[in-house]
Amino acid sequence: MRFTGDLSTSGITLHNDRLRVHILPEEGGRITSFFDMRSRIEFLLQPSEPYGQPGPLDPWDCFENSACAGIDDCLPSVGACGPETPGGPVPDHGDFWRLRWNVVSTSESDSVSMAATGYSRPLLFEKQLILHDSSLEIRYRIRNMEDTPVPFLYALHPLFAIDPGDRIALPPEVSTVQVESSRLGRVGVPRSVIDWPKPGGAGSSLDLSRTEAISASTAEMLYTGRLRTGCCGLYRAQSGQGIAVRFDAEQLPYLGLWLCYGGWPEDAALPRQYAVAFEPTVAPQGTLAAALKHGQAPVIGAYASFEFSIVLDRIGIDPVDFDTFAAQCCENACF
């Protein structure tokens, strides 16, 4: 395995005989590709226009004006927060997806470490990406750089490529989810609780665990309750293979689900998004302001840190059925 590319322009590529992972430190530390070398499947959503944002974005720009692809991190909020928020405003999807991350180190042990400093809160965000045989491990640390405690909201933000009829696997403990948003109220109003995967009951024709076509023009943001097991996965039905996301449910006890089938963004001039996102998070809230309101925002003490890990695991050297895939997603899910 080796590192390739010019860090200033083309990012970093990690690869072995199973996986190729590409990272752009200069564009928010974004992971732009998670590519299976044998099946030739690209698991991450790709942008409608090539990557190549020249320098940092406007610090208060909306996420929909970015590449809207790959994997980035939302910190210290997901949605934008106004100036009335304790600690002041936070931009849409947080600070870090729009910053140039510094490459701290690369090593012969097949890893790269990066860091960036936020501006809406005094937070230093560090991550180490380690490519194993068929998985990518990401180790995170969020450090409070001042002597005042800092409340925060964190969520992973991975946008996965899909086709109609792909399947979503959640831990067996998930039987209901809470609605954060639903375009045109298709599955319910905000904060309502619906059955998973069939919000209309067992006899419903709508099964949220099966991806729809982009022509559906729908978009739902949902949250699980507090989880005991941190795992989920996307099964690519045409190939019989998939990707699992495993996370520390002690540190990230909730999972957000973004199911977008052509229903976002609202601006008709922008390309329609067609993707699924699994978003391990510290709280089942869309904004830091909401997490504070409901008493669910964790706090990093003065000069303290918050650490956690997330693993993206490639499942299925050979094609498997969905039930086998779903069972494998939650194997070795404990950190």
pLDDT score, position 4: 40
pLDDT score, position 243: 97
Q: How far apart are CA 175 and CA 195, in angstroms?
A: 6
Cα dihedral: 77, 83, 86, 90 (round 10): 20
pTM, two decimal places: 0.94
For the CA atoms of the chain, what is the radius of gyration?
A: 19
Q: How far apart are CA 30 and CA 120, in angstroms?
A: 20
CB 287 within 8 A of CB 89: no
Find the length of the chain. 335
**All residues at 6 or more sequence positions from 6 whose CB lies less than 8 Å from its CB, including other chains:** none
pLDDT score, position 179: 98
Q: In what order do the strands lie in the sheet with 123-131?
A: 102-107, 111-117, 123-131, 135-144, 305-315, 241-247, 231-236, 167-169
Is 174 strand, coil or helix? coil
Q: How far apart are CA 75 and CA 72, in angstroms?
A: 10
Question: Residue 38 corresponds to which tokens in the numbers above?
Answer: 């044998």
CB 223 within 8 A of CB 177: yes
Helices and strands counted in the chain (H then E)? 2, 20
Backbone angles phi, psi at 289, to 5 degrees: -60, -45
pLDDT score, position 100: 93
What H or E segment, with its residue span, contains residue 322? helix 322-329
**All residues at 6 or more sequence positions from 102 whose CB lies less than 8 Å from its CB, including other chains:** 25, 114, 115, 116
Backbone angles phi, psi at 237, to 5 degrees: -65, -35
Backbone angles phi, psi at 96, to 5 degrees: -85, -25
pLDDT score, position 6: 36
Residue 217 exposed, middle or buried by CB count within 10 Å (0-12, 13-18, 19+):
middle
Strands 167-169 and 176-182 turn out to be unpaired
Which residue ranges in the chain fall short of pLDDT 50?
Answer: 1-9
Q: How far apart are CA 321 and CA 160, in angstroms?
A: 20
